[in-house]
Amino acid sequence: MSSCSHEHDNALHGVHGHHDIKARLVEAELLCTAAGARLTPLRKEVLELILNASAPMGAYDLLAKLKGQADRPAAPPTVYRTLDFLLEKGLIHRLTSINAYIPCCHPREGHQAAFLICTECHMVKEASAQGLIQQLDQLAASDQFTAQHSIIEISGKCHQCSTAP
């Protein structure tokens, strides 16, 4: 899988396999500071776990990792609040169909994404969904409906799993 770069507008790319996690964490701190928020040690730790993961992580996976690394593990409500903060700041995405979290490849862009999720190997690829979101917004507007949030997830088999013997 390729690492995230900010030069691939609509290109499909893997969301895991980041080469420079330290740089991503520094970027997250700068984004939070610019927004008048703080990337607390727990928020940073949860983001780092998600960035380091090789697949989407569920909240209980995160809780188990945090429990294994701390004398006094964070309570589930605290972890959920932390995930809500990271989602609100655009640093991670929640894949609702599998109830798991992945890093956002373009946190500073505030983009709308579409995700291809392999049901076999759990590999996730992300692409910009700006054109699709505009169409969905037009559809909603035609019924005087104001859309607040859209997430596009497509489940199926990736090329590798489809062609495996």
What residue numbers does the annotated binding site for Zn(2+) cover? 118, 121, 158, 161
Q: Are 134 and 127 contacting, i.e. CB atoms less than 8 angstroms apart?
A: no
How, if at all, do strands 113-118 and 124-128 pair?
antiparallel
- Gap between the Cα atoms of 94 and 142, Å rounded: 28
H helix intervals, the chain: 21-34, 41-52, 59-69, 76-88, 130-141, 159-163
Return the sign of the alpha-carbon dihedral for residues 120, 101, 46, 5.
positive
Residue 159, helix vs strand vs coil: helix
Beta strands across the sheet bearing 152-156 = 13-14, 124-128, 113-118, 152-156
Query: DSSP 3-state helix, strand, coil percentages of the chain (rounded to 5)?
Result: 40, 15, 45
Binding-site annotation, residues: 118, 121, 158, 161
